Structure 1
C-alpha cells in the first residue's frame, strides 16, 4: 500500500511539473509583439526633395484651419530619387485636417509627390500622386504643376512660406477614417 501511495504521489508531482513547463511556453510573447510598435497616427509623404530642408506637418482634430502647435518637424536630406518623409503624431491624436509646410529652404527645387499615406489607429488612407491636388490646396506661396504631380515654394513680397492645406474633400475622408 505504501508503494502504491508513493507511486501516486510521484505521478501527481510529475504531471504538475510538466504541466507548469507547458504553461510557460503557452504564455511566451510572439517575436512580432516584442518589436517596436509603429506609431498609431502617422503621415507618410513619398516624394522627391532634391535639396536639404525642414518640413512641418500640422494637424487639427476638428475641421478648422486653426492649426496651433499640433505639429511635427522633420529634417529632410536632399536626394534626386524618391524618399519617404515620415511624420509621427501622438497615439491619441485624431486628425481632422492637415497642413503641410513644404520647407524653409528658398533655394529648394521643384518637389514631386508620389503618394501620401495617412494612418489613423487601425485604418489607413493612401492618396496617389494624381489625387494629391484634389485633396490638398496650395497657398499663394506655392506654384503647383498638377500634370507633373509637383510643386515649388515661391517668395511673395520677399517672404518664403510654402503651405499646402487639406481641403473639404480630405476633411470628409478623414472624418470617415476616424469612425
Structure 2
C-alpha cells in the first residue's frame, strides 16, 4: 500500500511539474521593438584622440542653431577610419545642419572621408573630394582640400571648430527627406 501511495504521489508531482513547464512554454515572447525612422548624418573620419563631436540641426520652426537641437557623439580615438552616426530625433526633418568636429584643443588633425545623409532608404553621399562644395570650415579650421584633413587653430582661449553648410546642401537635404524645405 505504501508503494502505491508513493507511486501515486510521484506521478501526481510529475504531472503538476509537466503542466507548469507547458504553461511557461505558452508565454509569448515580447514583441521586437520597432526602431525609430530617423534622419541620419553619417560621418566617416579618422580621429586619433578621444573627443566629442556634435551635430546641430534646424527645422523650419527654428531660426538659429541652439543647444536644444543637438546630437552628441563621444568617441575613442583610433589610427584607422571610424563611422559616426548622428540620428536626429524621430519626426524631425532638418533643413540645415552644422557639424562641430572637435571639442578638444589638443586634437590632432582629423581626416574626413565622407558625410552621408540618409532617410527612409534615400541617401546622399558627400565624398572627401566634394566636401567644400557642401560645407565650409570656420576660422578655427585650416582645411587641406587635397587630403581632406582639418587642422585645428585655437585662438587664445577660444576653440570652436565647425563645418557650416553651403546652399548646395539644402537641395540634398530636400532629396533625402522627400520634403520641400
Gaps of 5+ in 1: 1-32
How far 1:52 sits from its partner (Å)?
Answer: 0.5
The answer to whether residue 86 in structure 2 is matched with residue 84 in structure 1 is: no
How far 1:91 sits from its partner (Å)?
Answer: 1.5
2:96 aligned residue: 97
What is the DSSP-based 3-state SS (H/G/I as helix, E as strand, rest coil) of the residue aligned with 2:146? helix
Q: Give me the CA root mean square deviation.
A: 2.2
What stretches of structure 1 move > 2 A for 4+ residues in a row?
33-40, 62-65, 175-179
Partner Cα distance (1:174, 1:164) in 2: 16
Q: Does the CA contact (< 8 Å) of 1:94 and 1:120 recur in 2?
A: no
The answer to whether residue 163 in structure 2 is matched with residue 164 in structure 1 is: yes
Q: Does the CA contact (< 8 Å) of 1:47 and 1:111 recur in 2?
A: yes
Q: Does the CA contact (< 8 Å) of 1:44 and 1:118 recur in 2?
A: yes
Please identify which structure carries the higher helix content.
1
Bigger drift between 72-81 and 166-175 goes to 166-175
**Given the two structures, how large is their TM-score scaled by the length of structure 2?**
0.74
How far 1:157 sits from its partner (Å)?
Answer: 3.5
Gaps of 5+ in 2: 1-30
**Given the two structures, how large is their TM-score scaled by the length of structure 1?**
0.75
